[in-house]
Structure 1
Amino acid sequence: MKKVLKYIVLVIIISFVGCSKDSTSEEDDTPIEKILVTIVSNSGTASEPANHSGFTIRASKAFEENIIVSYTVNGSATNGTDYIEISGNATILANTTSIIIPITIIDDSESEEIENVSITLTNTDNSNVILGTLNSASLNITNEADEFLLSPSEAKFYLVNSNATTETIALFYNLNKIARTSFIVGQQDAFNSFFNDATGISDMKKTTGNDPGLLGSDFMFIADDGNDETGGNFYYKHELKIKADVVEAYNKGMVNTFAWHMREPFEGDHFYTASMTDFQKNNAFISILPGGENHNYYKAKLDKVAKVTKSLVGNDGKLIPIIFRPFHEFDGNWFWWGKDYCTPQQFIDLWRFTVNYLKDTKDVNNMLFAFSPDRHYTSEAQYLERYPGDTYVDILGMDNYGDFNNQGMVGLAQANAKLKILTDLAKQKVKIAALTESCFFVTPGTNTPIPNFYTQDLYNSLTDNDVKLSYMMFWSNIAASYCVPAPSNSNANDFIAFSNKTDVLLQNSLPNVYELPE
């Protein structure tokens, strides 16, 4: 009789085993600084003779020591007979966040019914590492991965800052949740910069009837050497205006994000290297590292950033959460913090110092940290070349103008592929994914709008191939050029149609991003 190979059909079954603590007291009883460990089953088809699957045990943050996680194995499939034996213990190595338990199918000649494997986490070897709600997972040795769904009560474990305010934790959780079905559309300086200097409401509201869902601001003028914090000072006036805009945005339920076009530390005049001397270009970044000649100067700038961030209070009396995006587009060479002017390790060292100084020394607890290179990567390895580690980043972003600059289908496909890399990493690391800056600048008299740019080119790049973003941000409109059309521009209807798509969120359609669900 012909040998019949056993094919085991694999269906994902997740069982949720509740924590032993009373749900009403979990917030108080669980120290926020502890590390959470969870388990999910992986994607793929597990069947004889060649296809395999497995489970991923994930820690919410990296730990400085190995974490040994114990688990039990159950199910109708036999450990060591139907699949290569798994031991009952898995080790998450120091300074990493996950370990895979492979389920490697053993081929035999018997025909069998569908079988399953179930793993339940039982304990860890460290009292600072606790089991999360997702502590059990099963797979029937075909098909889809478990989708890791961040829970409101456990979101706090995945933030950089374990002392983050409740509203900051809620923002992180809700941005993560939004990405499953939609994305927020924002604009830099929406309340300050207008096409044709048409002051008043934001250009996006002029065109669509609604403000953007996210407001971009900058610490440049706030932290400028010339800001003496007196009433008639040019830079201080900008500081007051920016702070007022942030409060307005928060009171409207919008998200706030800050970039920082920090001027070089020697003369304090420029941030673009094209305007700097060779000495400034080659020494600016190195000089603000710990031990560098301008390190104290840099700390004074961070003191100002901290002071302003901690002064942002909404009408509800609560600190306003912000997304802080320092050293953006660092994989280019147009800024003095670019790749030509520091090594990957120097960049990582300064990033880590910056985060630690703000959250630990200055007690800034209403800030999420965003990592955003430009578009100069085509692989995960390239994206992560200067990545400071999961412990120091909340948001994985990318700035991308070039691929949208009338490059046709090739450029759009490249943009989508890079966003796919970014969003897959964010899902893997439990981070927020975002297109942190983008635009096709239209300058009437110089160039013309791209037909269907918003509804087709941009939208498809942001959503094709299961790209999952929490938000995207257009750059500022200015007097002569625009990223978001005014009502009189020929592509206004295209933008209106884009904004009316069911998965596009402007201010009017935002959920309450500053409240955690029960």
Structure 2
Amino acid sequence: MKKLKIVFALVCMALFIYSCSKDDKVTPDPNATLKITTESNTVSELSTTGSFTLTLSAALSTTTTVSYTVSGTAKNGTDYQNIASTAVIPANSTVATIEVTILEDTVAEDIETITLTLNSTNNGNVTIVSPKSATISITDGTTAYVLLPEDTPNYMVNPNSTPETIALFYNLKILSKTKFIVGQQDAFNSFYNNNAGDSDMKKATGSDPGLLGSDFMFITDDNNDGSASNWFYQQEQTIKANVVEAYDKGMVNVFCWHLREPFEGTEFYTSAMTDFQKNNAFISILPGGENHDYYKQKLQKVAEVANSMMGSDGQLIPFVFRPFHEFDGDWFWWGAAYCTPQQYKTLWQFTVNYLKDELHVRNILYAYSPDKNFTTPTDYLSRYPGDNYVDILGMDNYGDFDNMGQMALENANQKLQVISNLAIEKVKISALTESCFFVTPGQTNPIPNFYTSNLYNALSNNNIEISFMMFWNNSQDTYCTPVPGVSGTADFIEFANKPRTVLQTDLPNMYQLP
């Protein structure tokens, strides 16, 4: 009996050891890809810092040592503090940052470059994929970089954009040095007093606006079933036809996106949402969130439209896309009150990568456009997803133009200086992406010389480089741009004829590189 007890104990011990070893079995690491990017493509000696980012597609249980080559016209250890030839991505992490400290000197120099090229890793589970190299350009802080046509793709979110999209980026950038395009939201289908026909701007000036604003709101609505009798589908067809008309006239197209919250699909203003919707809508569409697949379906619709809009020349129509705008307020469910800066950056980066890499959209310029709630570059960039994800640095600003006095107008110009300077440094495009003073006769009177003085000076003073500005739409009883017979029309016509102002009839060819 004693022997049986010993045998039984030994068997139990063996089973225990086996079960423990089975439970503790290590799951093998997944295969992962590795790429290198930069947050800022251009830095100046005055900025003092830049960085490269190594990113794995999946976290691994062991450290990954990455070997790379440092090259470029800038000298390692002379123009910037010495960079080693390896970096380590820690275990259970997906990112490592290689900081670059720029060394300032007093010698005027041409643009210098630092290029890091990935060579190998110590981890057999890791495959290096494109982009395998990344470049930071260093300016001496005294001379602005002059963009050349052939270099334009290097500064764009999608270097593989269509030729017309590349040309649009280049021409907006060059135009901003001396002029700005004037645009209007829904110019072809929203009119003061519902007086359809020519755009209200053409009624007043003889020219359409140089830019047409549109919205993906109805296009991506849950109720758009794609049938000919469906009201939302009819709106989609109208919007697409307007975009084609604008492109054929040489105008620039811009889309915003008043995306409905994902739970009920009916609202975008938080004032009409429940506390649950407000506090969970944004988080729910992040990767891994309960409504992430729903959001991907909306992006698929955006891609479908982007890839279906062609001009009479047979080319895909480029457009500026500015999702999740005015994110520094709390009136939209994607506002700062409802997501952290990192969550906002994560969703923006996913949006761009999904449209560009998964859905292969090649005719979009991406615009980052907070409201006016910033005063410094640091404030402005608090939710900035990085140069690889933004083509246009914008700002929506109604408040500073709302008859608030001279100081408010100077503040508007100062904020435009912030984005203009950042766009110069980063070789991006800057814009006043939404603005106007709403006039409702009988309730809100026009401001004397609003267009020629208040607005024009804010867009022109202190040598700022703003590529375009867009008025919001006119409606039945309210206008942002006056029509013949109302107060302010003469002022607007004078504004349209100012040296820096460009309407449709004055546009250069925006879709061809010189």
1:167 aligned counterpart, secondary structure: helix
Q: Which amino acid aligns with 2:70?
A: I
Partner of 2:103: 101
Partner of 1:111: none
The 1:303–1:499 alpha-carbon spacing in structure 2 relative to 1, beyond 3 Å, is same
Q: Which amino acid aligns with 2:313?
A: D
Partner of 1:350: 347
Q: Which amino acid aligns with 2:356?
A: K
The 1:397–1:88 alpha-carbon spacing in structure 2 relative to 1, beyond 3 Å, is closer
1:102 aligned counterpart, secondary structure: coil
Q: Report deviation, 1:67.
A: 7.2
Contact kept in structure 2, 1:433 and 1:468, CA below 8 Å? yes
1:250 aligns with 2:247: yes
The 1:335–1:39 alpha-carbon spacing in structure 2 relative to 1, beyond 3 Å, is closer
1:427 aligns with 2:424: yes
- Matching residue within 490, 495, 506 for 1:493: 490
Q: Which amino acid aligns with 2:397?
A: N
Contact kept in structure 1, 2:52 and 2:134, CA below 8 Å? no
Q: Deviations over 1:331-376 (max 9, x none)?
A: 0000111111111111111111111111111000100110000001
Q: Report deviation, 1:147.
A: 2.3
The 1:283–1:121 alpha-carbon spacing in structure 2 relative to 1, beyond 3 Å, is closer
Q: Which amino acid aligns with 1:272?
A: Y
Q: Which amino acid aligns with 1:87?
A: T
Partner of 2:27: none
Q: Report deviation, 1:100.
A: 3.3
The 1:365–1:407 alpha-carbon spacing in structure 2 relative to 1, beyond 3 Å, is same
Q: Report deviation, 1:126.
A: 2.9
1:126 aligns with 2:117: yes
Partner of 1:281: 278
Partner of 1:373: 370
Within 1, Cα distance between the matches of 2:272 and 2:213? Answer: 25
Identity between Structure 1 and Structure 2 (%): 55
TM-score, normalization: structure 2?
0.80
Contact kept in structure 2, 1:286 and 1:342, CA below 8 Å? yes
The 1:56–1:311 alpha-carbon spacing in structure 2 relative to 1, beyond 3 Å, is same
2:432 aligned counterpart, secondary structure: strand
- Matching residue within 50, 68, 71 for 2:70: 68
Q: Which amino acid aligns with 1:421?
A: V
Matches within 5 A, 1:163-182: 163-182=160-179
Structure 2 gaps, min length 5: 1-35, 55-65, 85-95, 119-131
Within 1, Cα distance between the matches of 2:247 and 2:83? Answer: 39
- Matching residue within 286, 301, 304 for 2:301: 304
Within 2, Cα distance between the matches of 1:177 and 1:443? Answer: 37
Structure 1 gaps, min length 5: 1-32, 43-53, 74-84, 105-115
Contact kept in structure 2, 1:187 and 1:475, CA below 8 Å? yes
1:462 aligned counterpart, secondary structure: helix
Partner of 1:8: none
The 1:425–1:124 alpha-carbon spacing in structure 2 relative to 1, beyond 3 Å, is closer
- Matching residue within 456, 459, 462 for 2:459: 462
Q: Report deviation, 1:463.
A: 1.0
1:476 aligns with 2:467: no
1:337 aligned counterpart, secondary structure: coil
Within 1, Cα distance between the matches of 2:492 and 2:368? Answer: 28
Contact kept in structure 1, 2:42 and 2:427, CA below 8 Å? no
Q: Which amino acid aligns with 1:196?
A: N
The 1:446–1:434 alpha-carbon spacing in structure 2 relative to 1, beyond 3 Å, is same
- Matching residue within 73, 78, 82 for 1:87: 78
Q: Which amino acid aligns with 2:117?
A: N
1:197 aligns with 2:194: yes
1:332 aligns with 2:329: yes
Within 1, Cα distance between the matches of 2:343 and 2:219? Answer: 26
Q: Report deviation, 1:102.
A: 1.1
Q: Which portions of structure 1, spanning 4 or more consecutive aligned residues, are displaced by more than 4 angstroms? A: 37-40, 54-59, 69-73, 88-99, 116-125, 127-132
Within 2, Cα distance between the matches of 1:155 and 1:258? Answer: 22
Q: Which amino acid aligns with 1:223?
A: T
- Matching residue within 215, 222, 227 for 2:224: 227
Q: Which amino acid aligns with 1:102?
A: E
1:101 aligned counterpart, secondary structure: coil
Q: Report deviation, 1:86.
A: 7.1
The 1:451–1:335 alpha-carbon spacing in structure 2 relative to 1, beyond 3 Å, is same
Q: Report deviation, 1:38.
A: 9.6
* Greater mean alpha carbon deviation, residues 123-132 or residues 302-311: 123-132
Contact kept in structure 1, 2:116 and 2:135, CA below 8 Å? no
Q: Which amino acid aligns with 1:204?
A: M
Within 2, Cα distance between the matches of 1:122 and 1:327? Answer: 33
Q: Which amino acid aligns with 2:489?
A: A
Partner of 2:406: 409
Partner of 1:360: 357
Partner of 2:435: 438
1:281 aligned counterpart, secondary structure: helix
Within 2, Cα distance between the matches of 1:72 and 1:286? Answer: 42
The 1:293–1:405 alpha-carbon spacing in structure 2 relative to 1, beyond 3 Å, is same
Contact kept in structure 1, 2:74 and 2:114, CA below 8 Å? no
Q: Report deviation, 1:505.
A: 0.6
Partner of 1:389: 386
Q: Which amino acid aligns with 2:339?
A: C
The 1:92–1:370 alpha-carbon spacing in structure 2 relative to 1, beyond 3 Å, is farther
Partner of 1:318: 315
Contact kept in structure 2, 1:62 and 1:390, CA below 8 Å? no
Q: Deviations over 1:308-351 (max 9, x none)?
A: 11101000000000111000001000011111111111111111
The 1:123–1:180 alpha-carbon spacing in structure 2 relative to 1, beyond 3 Å, is closer
Within 1, Cα distance between the matches of 2:231 and 2:408? Answer: 41
The 1:330–1:125 alpha-carbon spacing in structure 2 relative to 1, beyond 3 Å, is closer
Within 1, Cα distance between the matches of 2:268 and 2:345? Answer: 20
* Greater mean alpha carbon deviation, residues 218-227 or residues 144-153: 144-153
Within 1, Cα distance between the matches of 2:238 and 2:375? Answer: 39
Contact kept in structure 1, 2:393 and 2:423, CA below 8 Å? yes
1:156 aligned counterpart, secondary structure: helix
Q: Which amino acid aligns with 2:495?
A: F
